[in-house]
Amino acid sequence: MSFQLSDEQRAVRDVVREFGENEIRPVAREHDEEKKYPHELVQKAATYDLVAPGIPEEYGGAGMDMLTEAVVTEELWRADAGIGSAIGSRGFGTSMIRKFGDEWMREEWLPKVAAGDAATCSCISEPAHGSNVAGIETRAERDGDDYVLNGTKMWITNGTVADVAVVMAKTSPDAGHRGITAFLVPTDADGFSATKIDNKLGIRASDLAEVVLDDVRVPAENVIGAVDEGFYQLMNFFADGRTSVAAQAVGVAQAAVDAAAEYANEREQGGQKIAEYQAIRHKIADMATDVEAARSLVYRAATHVENGDDDTAARFASMAKLFASERAVEVADEGIQVHGGAGFVTDHPAERFYRDARITKIYEGTSEIQKNIIADRVL
């Protein structure tokens, strides 16, 4: 099986790279330091079909396959992880709507998201429940023709900018993972409130929030898929999400390699460019090799996901996510080392790459969770 990019995919990569260099990089530091959400850049990205590019063409999207989406994600994060995250996450939850939602949900929300006119969020994690989805405590109780939702969600990307949320809640509280249901919840509903979390280590241009659901009432028709099937529906997208995070890790790691190489070719020490010292050359060689290995694994995972090889896709997605995220942090760390003291201050982006890379080892399942998944499929 080949994991080389097609001519069309390389053309997409070139477009995203140009967008990143011309539009994102010049303002990356500003958005990071001011923790500013890039509303205008999201709109520009939408004109290039870079917002939720997997949305089918019939709903106004680009209809990209998983590998092409991974290429888009990598290039956005190569330009800047925070802004790349803001653009790349605009459609969080749309996969659930696309696959399990009613047609009215798709017609109402997918075109708006693809056009950059609306954002979605996916409300899963809670203050006491991250990796353990089955343990969520948010409740949804039937009341006539409605459901009433109560609970708190934590670490919600797009929480304060989303127009609609996909909320996972317990409809059969004593049934564990068998009692979870997905709901489509407009964020302007009474009782829905989001508080921005802005003391993040990295990806500061993206939006993160705590979401509180206080007697939020939604019609029963807002159930996505079937009652008590939410966990099983969610499992359809774990491989997609982990492959996407792996692509993010490759992007920020490549940025670290680029910056280290550029600095090494400029910085002089002992009467020569530091790029001429073997110690520096070997560091950059190792960094570049790690990134290329991670990229190959991401492409392989994306191809399996696209082909619908469920068990194989899950295994390779976890491998890609584990390897790429771990290497990204190591590569970014070495990038700082190449810069020396200059890498420890904000005059250069090296320290930002390190801060941004760190999240890829945590969300969409920690490295430890990925190892469990891989071991389950190997042993």
Average of per-residue pLDDT values in the chain: 97
Q: Which of 192, 222, 224 is nearest to 210 (CA)?
A: 192
Contact 210, 159 (CB under 8 A): yes
Output the pLDDT for position 131.
81
**If you average pLDDT over residues 24-31, what whole number do you get?**
98
The yes-or-no verdict on residue 2 having pLDDT over 80 is no
Other Cβ atoms less than 10 A from the Cβ of 59: the count is: 19
Active-site positions?
364
Chain segment 173-192, per-residue pLDDT in tens: 999 899 999 999 999 999 99
The yes-or-no verdict on residue 309 having pLDDT over 70 is yes
User: What domains can you pick out in the chain, each with its CATH number?
Assistant: 7-114 (1.10.540.10), 120-228 (2.40.110.10), 233-378 (1.20.140.10)
Query: Cα(326)–Cα(332) distance, rounded to whole angstroms?
Result: 10
Output the pLDDT for position 267.
97
CA-derived radius of gyration, the chain = 21
**Structure letter (DSSP) for residue 126:** B
Distances (CA, A) of 368 to 123, 128, 233, 361, 372: 22, 18, 23, 9, 6
CA atoms within 13 A on the CB side of 255: 34
Chain segment 186-209, per-residue pLDDT in tens: 999 999 999 999 999 999 999 999
Chain segment 111-141, per-residue pLDDT in tens: 999 999 999 999 999 999 988 888 999 999 9
Chain segment 241-298, per-residue pLDDT in tens: 999 999 999 999 999 999 999 999 999 999 999 999 999 999 999 999 999 999 999 9
Q: Which residues have a Cβ under 8 Å from the Cβ of 352 and sit 6 or more positions away?
A: 28, 29, 32, 81, 202, 346
pTM metric for this prediction: 0.97
Output the pLDDT for position 258.
98
Total residues belonging to the chain: 379
